[in-house]
Amino acid sequence: MIFKYLTTISLLILSSISEAAPDTQLLKKLDLERSLFSEQYENFSINSQDIIYVIQQSTTAITLGVAVMIAESGTSVIGKNGLRPLATQLNDLGWVTIIMPAPDTAFLPSIQEPLDTDIPEPDEQGSEVTQPDPTGDKIAEIAPTKNQSRSIESQLNAVSFLKHEKELIALLKESATRAANYPGFFLVIAQGTSAAWMAKIYSEKMLETPDALVTISPFWPDRKLNETLPILIANTPMPVLDLYSENDNKWSLQTVKRREVFAVKALKLQYRQRKMLGLTNADQNSLYLSKEIYGWTSYMGW
């Protein structure tokens, strides 16, 4: 009887905790405040929510411009798995870097829509996708019905997807405002799902186009949406450096060849796809990435 009572109480507590979505931005804010001195970060407000970002100045006599950097969702702005080590390398190459935290909206689990962790195997035949529609229907198709949980093919929800996109656009607008305080080029560097969203946002002209875009291992954890990435990247109006590694997850590797093929077929100027070395050390990996970016931008005459 006592065991049954304790079990019921435990379930009620777990249920109440699960129903309250965590304030991830608050957690990130507290993490940054504990890790950095007050002069090492800045903040602004979006929809009454404080967003903390890290800005690092160029260490060279001449500034090339500003690189806005958005890592994968759930990655700490200051963590070694994020883009801060790369930002430090770019500072030494003449870039001011603004590291923004990516939203987590589309990836927060709920009781009604459990988050699947398994990822389906990519198509072994590598069959080419025929002109997928990057908007509208593809987003609608990922929403589960009332009587079914999320498919193994999708970790995204249609409403959360659009909310995540809206939050990203707001972050980029704020970034552009701060970048306007510095001379030179405006470069956007994004990783993982953030890179996929950048391709969609810029290909659909939702924002003013930056001078160039660097995508690092872009993907969406949804089969139908992921298939649209090659055409989205091909339709972006700015030069694109498309970086990938053999250590990327299956979603990203699944579209590597088609991303290049679609860009070539679209006669996309200044598109370059490069395979990154499988370096496990964060500092070595960041040094390698910075050299790839430097080589590409130098080729364009920056």
pLDDT single digits (tens) 200-254: 999 999 999 999 999 999 999 989 999 999 999 999 999 999 999 988 999 999 9
How far apart are the C-alpha atoms of 73 and 219, rounded to whole Å? 12
Closest C-alpha among 214, 210, 185, 238 to residue 58: 185
Phi, psi of 188 (to 5 degrees): -115, 130
Question: What pLDDT does residue 48 have?
Answer: 73
Q: Which residues contact 147 (CB under 8 A, 6 or more apart)?
A: none
pTM for this predicted structure? 0.78
Return the structure tokens found at 123. 């198509």
β-pairing, 95-100 with 49-56?
Answer: antiparallel
Looking at residue 78, its pLDDT comes to: 78
Question: Are the CB atoms for 43 and 50 separated by under 8 Å?
Answer: yes
The domain ranges of the chain are: 23-106+129-299
| Adjacency order of strands within the sheet including 185-191 | 42-46, 49-56, 95-100, 65-70, 185-191, 212-216, 240-245, 271-276
Beta bridge partners of 21: none
What does the alpha-carbon distance between residue 302 and residue 294 come to, in Å, rounded to a whole number? 9
SS3 labels along the chain: CHHHHHHHHHHHHHHHHHHCCCCHHHHHHHHHHHHCCHHHCEEEEECCEEEEEEEECCCCCCCCEEEEEECCCCCCCCCCCCCHHHHHHHHCCCEEEEEECCCCHHHCCCCCCCCCCCCCCCCCCCCCCCCCCCCCHHHHCCCCCCCCCCCCCECCCHHHHHHHHHHHHHHHHHHHHHHCCCCCEEEEEEECHHHHHHHHHHHCCCCCCCCEEEEECCCCCEHHHHHCHHHHHHHCCCCEEEEEECCCCHHHHCCHHHHHHHHHHCCCCCEEEEEECCCCCHHHHHHHHHHHHHHHHHHCCC
Q: Which residue has the tokens 């130098």?
A: 298
Contacts of 300 (CB under 8 A, 6+ apart): 212, 239, 270
Q: How confident is the model at residue 150, as a pLDDT? A: 42
Per-residue pLDDT of the chain (302 residues; tens, 9 = 90+): 444 444 444 444 444 434 444 556 566 666 666 666 666 777 777 777 778 889 999 999 999 999 999 999 888 777 777 899 999 999 999 999 999 988 887 676 543 344 343 444 444 444 444 444 545 555 545 444 333 334 444 567 888 899 899 999 999 999 999 999 999 999 999 999 999 999 999 999 999 999 999 999 999 998 999 999 999 999 999 999 999 998 899 999 999 999 999 999 999 999 999 998 766 677 788 999 999 999 999 999 99
Task: Quote the radius of gyration of the chain (alpha carbons, Å).
Answer: 20
**Topology annotation, domain 23-106+129-299:** Rossmann fold (3.40.50)
